Amino acid sequence: MTALDTAGPAVTAGPAPSRNTKHSARRTTRKWGEISLFAGPAVLVYLIFVLLPVLLAAFYSFFNWNGLGPLDRFIGLDNYTRLLADPVFHRSVFNNFFIIVMSLLIQGPLAILVALLMNRPLRFRGLLRALIFVPYVLSEVTAGLAWQILLQSVPPNRWGPFDTLLRSIGIENPPAWLADQDVVMWTMFGILTWKYLGLAIILMLAGLSGVPEELYEAAALDGAGWWKTQWYITVPLLGPTIRIWAFLSIIGALQLFDMVWIVTGGGPLNASSTMAVYMVKNGLNVSQIGFGSAVAVVLFLISLVIALVYQRFALRRDLAGAITGGVR
Amino acid sequence: MTATTAITTRGAKTAVPRRRAGEGFDWGQPIVYVVALAVAAIAVGPVLYVFISGFRTNPDFFTNPAGMPDPWTADNYLRVLSNPTFWNQVFASTVTALGTTLGVMLFGVMAAFVIARYDFKGRQLLYAMFTTGLLFPLTISILPLTVLLRQLNLFGSWWGLIIPQVAFALPTTIIILVPFLRAIPGELEDAAMVDGTSRIGFFWRIMVPLSMPALMTVGVLAFVGSWNAYLLPLFVLQAGGAGSDSYTLPLGVQFFSTANGQDTTGVLSYTALAMLPAILFFTLAEKRIVGGLQGAVKG
């Protein structure tokens, strides 16, 4: 009865708008239904397995907890003070930054140089590129095990494959690549360069393929030599590629774990430990989830600050629209 | 006559852009080959060494670690190939990598479809949420994730690998897919609507087939990522108490190496065989991998 009453005037007042609202309401419901149907699974999995753990890490870092018993020993910032006072952690942070700085100083320029040289019509160009790219495709574990065997050295008389090779070309006393505390990080840097130089070269070659040919012809007409042309024309135009490579390299170096864990386990005497190795050693072997989480939070904060600063000053122009403004 | 010379020089210029007229011999060319070959040799040398040394016996290896096999023997390889654990690990890697790939492609394209082609409040937020995922790599969340997986009863199981790997691959996937889906012309959608297709039908019959190139790139990246993964299997399978028969290959190789430290050539052949799938897969998918990376740089 009441239903009829309310429906009555509405119909007389104007059937068109009423039907329209109903229709569009149904359409809106359907639209949201479709949206949640399509995006729902991804959002759910992402929230639970990517975002929630990060929040949990921040939460756990205030507890003394082994991950199993009740979470009731709140200790405030104690994990952080302990962490920041630990010389092994200092060494780990230093090692991460050592890899960052050396990569930027050596790996990048080396890759640019090789790419500049290779950026011309070559016979077997495809094959050469593929060969250079091989180390990048291998898992860190298989590559790491290979290097562990290649570089093993058991003094005084048992030389590993690499040392035997060096002796055959007259280098009698190579350092203990993996056993010398002062050498091990250089060794690690060498292995990482071997693994990631190919990727850098491929990226640089990709960047070079975007440099317009006419510029070279113009430079040649002006009488510029090869080096001058590269230095004043090619390298500046390669800027965006170099900046993105550097960003990927820095973030990768901050997360460095697999290779170190496989090749040295962080040794000898923590000399090759990194933040992630330090975290896993504490979290996995000693099962201190609270303390390990504090390491994760510090690692995250360092990465975040570097990422923000880098984006602000270097990547801003290149990424404008790529990450922040992707949806207009 | 002058016209012909002009044409030929221009032709030569496009073929070898940086060779200048009047230069007799391009000294750059041999140097380039030397450099490229040296880099390629350094890249491939250690890999070749592993494959070749797998054919050696341990006494032979320790007499001269840098030499060639004397005699050549396939014993090590046959031992690994007849080891059921090795095949179980190949199977584990295949299942988890395929599961991850399918999950990433399906969930990724569905979410990217919404972000690219629906107009709604919160769309930008949704996109931003996924892209910030780039700031949260697995390393940072591995410890709480382990606790979470234990509570969800996924600890020690392949699902405990697949689901988080899908989740962590979503940011890159969505960043690659959204522009691709948005570039598909709206007229196609209108035409489909006029023909009476629903949005869901449009998605399956038109969007998914059209976005296959981008989806393949995303799939290859997810597959390689999963195949090579170490940190997550280390925590979920090894720390989760799964037996070495359900380890993925990287974890299995590392386990074998730790357990058989004295048997160096055995470890080398196990490592070589574990490298093989990655190399084969790369030769098959090279264009996708390199193309995907180049696309990412070119923007």
How far apart, in Å, are the Cα atoms of A229 and each of A208, A215, A220? 13, 9, 8
Instruction: Name the region of A160 (left: φ>0; alpha: ψ -120 to 50; beta: rest).
Output: beta
Model confidence over B131-149: pLDDT tens digits? Answer: 888 888 898 889 999 999 9
Q: Tell me the CATH number at A165.
A: 1.10.3720.10
Assigned domain for A153 exists: yes
Assigned domain for A255 exists: yes
Q: Number of A:B CB contacts under 8 A?
A: 304
Q: What is the reported pLDDT for A33?
A: 85
Residue of chain B whose Cα is closest to the Cα of A147: B46
CA distance B146 to B37: 45
Q: Higher model confidence: residue B232 or residue B261?
A: B232
CA distance B248 to B225: 13
CA distance B266 to B56: 9
Confidence of residue A325 (pLDDT cuts 50, 70, 90): very low
Q: What is the reported pLDDT for A157?
A: 58
Q: What is the reported pLDDT for B231?
A: 93
Q: What is the reported pLDDT for B110?
A: 93
Are residues A59 and A135 located together in one domain of the fold? no
Q: What is the reported pLDDT for A322?
A: 44
> Which span out of A181-195, A215-229, A241-255, B131-145 was modeled with the highest average pLDDT?
A181-195
Assigned domain for A24 exists: no
Q: What is the reported pLDDT for B84?
A: 93
CA distance B89 to B98: 14
CA distance B215 to chain A (A): 15
CA-wise closest residue to A253 among A235, A277, A281: A277
How far apart, in Å, are the Cα atoms of A206 and each of A100, A110, A118, A209? 23, 16, 12, 5
* Mean confidence (pLDDT) of chain A: 83
Q: Which helix (H) or strand (E) holds B111?
A: helix B84-117
CA distance B29 to chain A (A): 8
How far apart, in Å, are the Cα atoms of B205 and each of A243, B132, B210? 40, 31, 9
Q: Higher model confidence: residue A328 or residue B44?
A: B44
Residue B281 has pLDDT above 50, yes or no: yes
Residue of chain A whose Cα is closest to the Cα of B133: A50
Residue A1 has pLDDT above 70, yes or no: no
CA distance B286 to A20: 54
Q: Which helix (H) or strand (E) holds B98?
A: helix B84-117
Residue A10 has pLDDT above 70, yes or no: no
Domain with A139 in it: 90-276
Q: What is the reported pLDDT for B133?
A: 84
Are residues A79 and A168 located together in one domain of the fold? no
Instruction: Name the region of A229 (left: φ>0; alpha: ψ -120 to 50; beta: rest).
Output: alpha
CA distance B68 to B55: 9
Residues of A in contact with B249 (CB under 8 A): 139
Instruction: Name the region of B16 (left: φ>0; alpha: ψ -120 to 50; beta: rest).
Output: beta
Assigned domain for A176 exists: yes
Residue A232 has pLDDT above 70, yes or no: yes
Residues of B in contact with A157 (CB under 8 A): none
The stretch A245-274 carries a mean pLDDT of: 92
Q: Lowest-pLDDT range, A9-13, A232-236, A278-282, B274-278?
A: A9-13
For chain B, give every domain's residue range.
26-73, 83-298
Q: Which of A32, A45, A50 to probe by mutation at the B interface, max B CB count within 10 Å? A: A50
* Residue B19 amino acid letter: R
Are residues A123 and A220 located together in one domain of the fold? yes
Q: What is the reported pLDDT for B22?
A: 45
Taking the CA atoms of residue B21, residue B23, residue B28 and residue B30 in that order, the dihedral angle to the nearest 10 degrees is 120
Confidence of residue B294 (pLDDT cuts 50, 70, 90): low
Confidence of residue A296 (pLDDT cuts 50, 70, 90): very high
Q: What is the reported pLDDT for B26?
A: 63
Residue B93 has pLDDT above 80, yes or no: yes
Neighbouring residues of A193: CB distance < 8 A, sequence distance ≥ 6: A103, A106, A107, A110
Alpha helix ranges (H) inside chain A: 2-13, 15-46, 52-60, 78-85, 87-102, 108-118, 125-137, 140-151, 161-168, 184-208, 213-221, 226-229, 235-237, 239-254, 258-263, 275-280, 289-310, 316-319
Residue B217 has pLDDT above 90, yes or no: no
The stretch A128-144 carries a mean pLDDT of: 91
* Mean confidence (pLDDT) of chain B: 84
The stretch A59-85 carries a mean pLDDT of: 89
Are residues A67 and A99 located together in one domain of the fold? no
Task: Judge: B278–A139 Cβ closer than 8 Å, yes or no.
Answer: yes
Query: Does residue A105 contact residue A283 with C-beta atoms inside 8 Å?
Result: no
CA-wise closest residue to B218 among B107, B142, B299: B107
CA distance B243 to B231: 17
Neighbouring residues of A214: CB distance < 8 A, sequence distance ≥ 6: none
Are residues A138 and A72 located together in one domain of the fold? no
Q: What is the reported pLDDT for A320?
A: 47
DSSP per-residue string spanning A86-143: -HHHHHHHHHHHHHHHHIIIIIHHHHHHHHHHH-S--TTHHHHHHHHHHHHHS-HHHH
Assigned domain for A324 exists: no
* pTM for this predicted structure: 0.85
> Which span out of A208-212, B43-47, B71-75 was modeled with the highest average pLDDT?
B43-47
Residue B12 has pLDDT above 80, yes or no: no
CA distance A111 to A235: 12
Residue A31 has pLDDT above 90, yes or no: no
Q: What is the reported pLDDT for B7?
A: 36
Q: What is the reported pLDDT for B8?
A: 37
Q: Which helix (H) or strand (E) holds A311?
A: none
Are residues A205 and A293 located together in one domain of the fold? no
Are residues A175 and A264 located together in one domain of the fold? yes
Are residues A188 and A115 located together in one domain of the fold? yes
Q: Does B180 touch chain A (CB under 8 A)?
A: no
The radius of gyration of chain B from alpha carbons, rounded to an integer in Å, stands at 26
The angle, 0 to 180 degrees and rounded to 10, between the axes of the packed helices B212-228 and B84-117 is: 140
DSSP A21: H
Are residues A231 and A294 located together in one domain of the fold? no
Dihedral sign from CA coordinates of B117, B120, B121, B126 = negative
Task: Judge: A114–B126 Cβ closer than 8 Å, yes or no.
Answer: no
Model confidence over B97-108: pLDDT tens digits? Answer: 999 999 999 999
Are residues A182 and A291 located together in one domain of the fold? no
Query: Does residue B214 contact residue B180 with C-beta atoms inside 8 Å?
Result: yes
Are residues A202 and A103 located together in one domain of the fold? yes
CA distance B1 to chain A (A): 22
State phi, psi for A225 to the nearest 5 degrees.
-75, 175
Q: What is the reported pLDDT for B96?
A: 96
Q: Lowest-pLDDT range, A245-254, B80-89, B188-197, B272-281?
A: B188-197
CA distance A242 to A245: 5
Alpha helix ranges (H) inside B118-247: 123-132, 138-151, 159-182, 186-194, 199-202, 208-210, 212-228, 231-233
CA-wise closest residue to B55 among B79, B73, B80, B78: B73
Confidence of residue B70 (pLDDT cuts 50, 70, 90): confident
Task: Judge: B140–A129 Cβ closer than 8 Å, yes or no.
Answer: no
Confidence of residue B212 (pLDDT cuts 50, 70, 90): confident
Residue A321 has pLDDT above 70, yes or no: no
The interface predicted TM-score (ipTM) is 0.84
Q: Higher model confidence: residue B213 or residue B15?
A: B213
Q: Higher model confidence: residue B149 or residue B22?
A: B149
Are residues A168 and A311 located together in one domain of the fold? no
Model confidence over A53-69: pLDDT tens digits? Answer: 999 999 999 998 888 87
Assigned domain for A10 exists: no
Assigned domain for A79 exists: yes
The radius of gyration of chain A from alpha carbons, rounded to an integer in Å, stands at 29
Neighbouring residues of A141: CB distance < 8 A, sequence distance ≥ 6: A258, A262, B228, B230, B250, B251, B253, B254, B274
CA distance A154 to chain B (A): 11
CA distance A67 to B144: 9
CA-wise closest residue to A61 among A85, A81, A33: A81
Q: What is the reported pLDDT for B170?
A: 94
Q: What is the reported pLDDT for A12?
A: 38
Residues of B in contact with A132 (CB under 8 A): 36, 39-40, 43
Q: What is the reported pLDDT for B293?
A: 64
Task: Judge: A262–B254 Cβ closer than 8 Å, yes or no.
Answer: yes
CA distance A245 to A239: 10
Q: Which of B143, B181, B262, B280 to probe by mutation at the A interface, max A CB count within 10 Å? A: B143
Residues of A in contact with B150 (CB under 8 A): 67
Model confidence over A96-117: pLDDT tens digits? Answer: 999 999 999 999 999 999 998 8
- The tally of domains found in chain A comes to 2
Look up the CATH superfamily of B83-298. Answer: MetI-like (1.10.3720.10)
Q: What is the reported pLDDT for B16?
A: 45
